[in-house]
Chains A and B, each alone.
Chain A
Amino acid sequence: MDDLGLHIALFLLSAMVIVAVTCMYTEAEDGKAIRLFPRRYATFVLASAAIVVVMIVVQHTLASVH
């Protein structure tokens, strides 16, 4: 597996754990925490992707690192 693919896989995995734990922290009822998970996971991944896009844009426009 190439580096980018592995890092994306690792990110998705760690994001899954982070979101699962926060779902359990915010919802005492197991069933409700499970129902919350898909939406929160999608939000987390999409928000992170948006940040990545901003960082890449900044890197290629403002930063002097090439």
Chain B
Amino acid sequence: MPSLDSSKRSPVNPNVAALLTWLVPGAGHFLLGHMRLAVAAFVVIQGLYVAGLALTGGAFLDLLAPEIRGPFAGALTPEAGNVGAFFLHVRQIDFSDLSPAPFGPQLYLGLALTSTSGILNLILASRAHFDARAQAGSVIEGAAIHPAAAVLFGWLIPGAGHVSQGRVARGLFCFLLITGMFVLGCLLAEGTNLDRTRHFYYWAGQTMLGPMAFVAEFFSGHPAMEVRPRYSDAGVMLASVAGVLNVLLLLDVYGFSDSKLFGRPLATELKASRRGEPKAS
């Protein structure tokens, strides 16, 4: 949690801090004067990306079918969360030639690492935004867990962000809903949804479920699809929607902690007060 000492206040614009972090991991915190966090974040996030790049040979955009390749094809990938590294990657490697080539055995691990790098950087950018506002304003210490930490927990295990805020029942309910939807999708698609080489963009949705999706992918063993599973389309859709819904839950936990720490009413409390309803205890 940033210090509230007025001598350390910085006029850093929160949007600038978040944008800089998006471009270069840690840059926002560097600007805010949080050097150790900035360096650690840069090393970890860029390290993940470089390791993933080494394992995949940088060829992840080659997973796209030739007819949908284009300058913005990578915009909806989790790697775009680390946009500086992603931009350099695309500038240097882009699409390789269109001739089919076998993917290396480390491809899937590499893809997991580059996508994790992008998602972690987005969470870091959200942290930079909060920290910049906290430096300029007053935060109620201990009122709630840091919003970015709650988001990180919620990404690692769906619902864990709510649990970390003390909203245990809601967290468990979210976990059951999201995990249940993902498992049902995997069962219907017979595990064929868990393969980025087959479902490039739907796989991106699933990455928002965090390590759960990567572990399921690892244990699925990337089965060959000799016969298309009867309900594969429904399965792919359900699993991907589960990931997208987890983003909504992450926004919920961020907003909750943010409001508590700044001592502001939640958006729903504001709406209720406008309607003249009594405030929830």
The answer to whether B238 touches A6 (Cβ under 8 A) is no
The answer to whether A24 touches B268 (Cβ under 8 A) is no
> Helix, strand, loop or mixed for chain B's interface?
helix
- State the total of A-B contacts with C-beta under 8 angstroms: 51
CB distance from A44 to the nearest CB of B (A): 14
In B246-279, the 8 Å CB interface with A consists of 248-249, 251-252, 256, 266, 268-269
Q: Given that A10-B234, A24-B170 are known contacts, is A17 also in contact with B181, CB under 8 Å in the complex?
A: yes
The answer to whether A10 touches B238 (Cβ under 8 A) is yes
The answer to whether B269 touches A28 (Cβ under 8 A) is yes
The answer to whether B241 touches A18 (Cβ under 8 A) is yes
In A8-59, the 8 Å CB interface with B consists of 10, 13-14, 17-18, 20-22, 24-30, 32
Across the interface, name the chain B residue whose C-beta is closest to A26.
B268
Q: A30 to B256: give the CA distance in the assembly, Å.
A: 13
On chain B, which size bracket covers the interface?
20 to 34
A-binding residues in B (CB < 8 A): 167, 169-170, 173-174, 177-178, 180-181, 184, 188, 231, 234, 237-238, 241-242, 245, 248-249, 251-252, 256, 266, 268-269, 280
B-binding residues in A (CB < 8 A): 6-7, 10, 13-14, 17-18, 20-22, 24-30, 32
